[in-house]
Homo-oligomer: A and B are copies of this chain.
Amino acid sequence: MKEGPDIALIGSLIGDPARANMLTALTGGKALTATELAGTAGITLQTASSHLSKLEAGGLIAQRKQGRHRYFTLADDDVGLMIEGLMGFAAYRGFTRHRTGPKDPALRKARVCYNHLAGDYGVRMLDSLIAEEVVSGAGDTLHLTASGADKMTALGIDLAALTRSRRPVCRACLDWSERRSHLAGSLGQALLTLFVDKGWARREPDSRAIRFTSTGEKEFAKLFPPPAPPPVALRHEHAIHA
């Protein structure tokens, strides 16, 4: 009866369409102002302000003042993972808002999930990282291997900086379009940042979609080759799993 965590509180926060729209927008990773969020939610600034203060009180978002603007972001990675998880559930049930639109294929191919790469490319990247033994682990507890650490450093990623924060370096995040895991955590974020910094990929202006350049595609394929097909002995597992 009265045991366990209170999911109703979170449910009610997400349950309002306007708030859900704002949260979805923030899942794009960019910090947005109250006015922008009001726009995407289709409500006036006053109502948006009310919603935002509720979301903040509930610990789902955070704000930082900058001049006369207030920039809102998701509170932390956990919120992003939780929302992405709900999206996966909703998508699988066919609960979509407005029928899969024209942007949909692009989103399914590659998109931002709060701060890391998601979609087909995100899943393929994690598959490859595991096959190459850069990352190992099972369940959603992933960790970087010693050899993986070297590879990442060679790529130009500052591992010391990643480990300095309290956030986990590796984390599995359930992809709503692929229904499989992709890499989250500070390493996931660093890799996406790397792609953008190198000019391999860039974010579409008003969407979560990520567009890879032609050289980006090549570099991505080189860096993250698809895992080799399993040996015959292992084929058996697939039969069992299917």
In the bound complex, CA of A103 to CA of B136 (Å):
36
A21 within 8 A of B: yes
* Residues of the B chain whose Cβ atoms lie less than 8 Å from the Cβ of A83: 7
A181 within 8 A of B: yes
A154 within 8 A of B: no
Q: How far is the CB of A106 from chain B (nearest CB, A)?
A: 10
Contact indicator A163/B126 (Cβ below 8 Å): no
Q: With A3-B103, A87-B5 as given contacts, are A181 and B138 in contact (CB-CB < 8 Å)?
A: yes
Of B2, B8, B79, which contacts A15 at CB under 8 A? B8
Q: With A11-B12, A24-B4, A101-B3 as given contacts, are A170 and B241 in contact (CB-CB < 8 Å)?
A: yes
* Interface 9-residue window, one of A44-52, A62-70, A92-100: A92-100
Interface size on A, residues (CB 8 A): 84
- Which of A101, A141, A170 has the most chain B CB atoms closer than 10 A to its own CB? A141
* Residues of the B chain whose Cβ atoms lie less than 8 Å from the Cβ of A91: 4-5
In the bound complex, CA of A17 to CA of B15 (Å):
12
Q: How far is the CB of A78 from chain B (nearest CB, A)?
A: 6
Q: Which residues of A contact B (CB under 8 A)?
A: 1-17, 19-21, 23-25, 40, 42, 59, 78-79, 82-83, 85-93, 95-98, 101, 103-104, 107, 126, 130, 135-146, 149, 159, 163, 168-170, 172, 174, 176, 180-182, 207-208, 233-234, 236-242
